[in-house]
């Protein structure tokens, strides 16, 4: 199990989370190098969402979570977060511009989004093939469009660590493949570390550098092919045939020239 941290990474040491009498996470050690995408998989109730919420600082924990970059003291990583789902009322009159603007600006958007801010929002969305969504209500977006908008918002804070919570849920295959391609592009361009929590085992394997099998603690870790053939994973998920036939633009083909 690789547990080193090279020039720049986010490192989680001895993480333990208790909720009441239950131990949700115990002795979790993992690190994500900058420019690396790791996928966290595990059965229901394995603590995947708790792990994300702990990194986000929403749940008290024991242990250490730190961002290290060579030559600087360790600190808390700057986090970008893409939630799994939004709990808003679908008929809410919140437009895409509204949500992005309220995340990146302090100017109250109910009083109107000015031209300058509106251009800024457009700029943010255009990086994620989403500028055509500007005037749509967020309740009208498809799963994939919603994910891209949320990713655009997350990236505006220039995060050191990007957390993606179940990006596959409610997104069709085409939208998901576009989403993963954009994430891959981000990691390369911005040297950003990405933790991706998902149920979509087979799909995600093509787009991550490493896969982590989590069930209260890290059960297995390594390149996707190794982890997927791990007997513990078969035990956790049941015997399923994993058909890994990655698309040409998956992460394992590093020579992909990034066509967007």
Q: Sketch the per residue contact string, 4 through 43, with another protein: x for CB under 8 A, - otherwise.
A: ----------------------------------------
Minimum Å gap between C-beta 109 and another protein is: 5
Supply the Cα-derived Rg of the chain in whole angstroms.
19
If one counts every other C-beta atom within 10 angstroms of the C-beta of residue 36, the result is 20
Minimum Å gap between C-beta 137 and another protein is: 7
Angstrom distance (rounded) from CA 254 to CA 132: 30
- Binder of another protein out of 153, 178, 195, 204 (CB under 8 A): 153
Residue number with CB closer to another protein (25 or 163) = 163
- Binder of another protein out of 32, 40, 77, 98 (CB under 8 A): 98
Question: Do residues 218 and 46 touch, judged by C-beta distance below 8 A?
Answer: no
Quick one: 18 exposed, middle or buried, by C-beta within 10 A (0-12, 13-18, 19+)? middle
DSSP letter for each residue of 148-191: HHHHHHHHTT--SEEEEE-TTTT--HHHHHHHHHHHHHHHHHH-
Minimum Å gap between C-beta 79 and another protein is: 6
Residue number with CB closer to another protein (119 or 226) = 119
The pairing of strands 79-82 and 161-165 is: parallel
Using CB under 8 A as the binding rule, the residues of this chain from 37 to 96 that contact another protein are 53, 56-58, 79-81, 83, 86-89, 91-95
Burial per residue of 208-224, b for 16 or more beta-carbon CB atoms within 10 angstroms, e otherwise:
bbbbbbbbbbbbbbbeb
Residue number with CB closer to another protein (106 or 174) = 106
Residue number with CB closer to another protein (18 or 237) = 18
Q: Sketch the per residue contact string, 101 through 140, with another protein: x for CB under 8 A, - otherwise.
A: xxx-xxxxxxxxx---------------------x-xx--
Question: Do residues 165 and 49 touch, judged by C-beta distance below 8 A?
Answer: yes
Number of residues binding to another protein, judged by CB under 8 A = 39
CA atoms within 13 A on the CB side of 161: 26
- Residue 224 within binding range of another protein, rule CB under 8 A: no
Complete edge-to-edge strand list for the sheet that includes strand 161-165: 79-82, 161-165, 193-197, 37-41, 210-215, 217-222
Residue number with CB closer to another protein (18 or 217) = 18
Minimum Å gap between C-beta 219 and another protein is: 26
Residues at the contact surface with another protein, assessed by CB under 8 A:
53, 56-58, 79-81, 83, 86-89, 91-95, 97-99, 101-103, 105-113, 135, 137-138, 150, 153-154, 157
């Amino acid at each position: 199990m690789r547990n080193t941290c090279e020039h720049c990474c986010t490192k989680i040491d001895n993480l333990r989370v208790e909720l009441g009498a239950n131990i949700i996470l115990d002795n979790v050690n993992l690190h994500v190098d900058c420019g690396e995408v790791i996928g966290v998989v595990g059965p229901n109730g394995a603590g995947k969402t708790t792990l994300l919420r702990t990194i986000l600082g929403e749940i008290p924990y024991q242990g250490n979570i730190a961002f290290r970059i060579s030559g600087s003291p360790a600190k808390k990583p700057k986090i970008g977060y893409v939630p799994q789902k939004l709990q808003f009322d679908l008929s809410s009159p919140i437009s895409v511009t509204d949500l992005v603007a309220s995340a990146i600006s302090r100017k109250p958007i109910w009083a109107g989004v000015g031209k300058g801010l509106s251009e800024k929002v457009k700029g943010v969305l255009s990086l994620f093939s989403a500028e055509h969504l500007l005037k749509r209500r967020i309740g009208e977006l498809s799963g994939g469009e919603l994910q891209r908008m949320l990713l655009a918002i997350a990236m505006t804070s220039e995060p050191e660590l990007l957390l993606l919570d179940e990006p596959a849920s409610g997104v069709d295959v085409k939208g998901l493949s576009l989403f993963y391609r954009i994430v891959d592009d981000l990691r390369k361009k911005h040297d950003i570390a990405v933790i991706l929590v998902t149920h979509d085992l087979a799909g995600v394997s093509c787009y991550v550098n490493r896969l982590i099998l989590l069930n209260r603690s890290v059960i297995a870790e390594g390149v996707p092919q190794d982890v997927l053939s791990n007997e513990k994973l078969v035990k956790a998920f049941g015997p399923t045939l994993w058909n890994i036939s990655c698309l040409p633009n998956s992460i394992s083909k590093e020579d992909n020239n990034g066509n967007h």
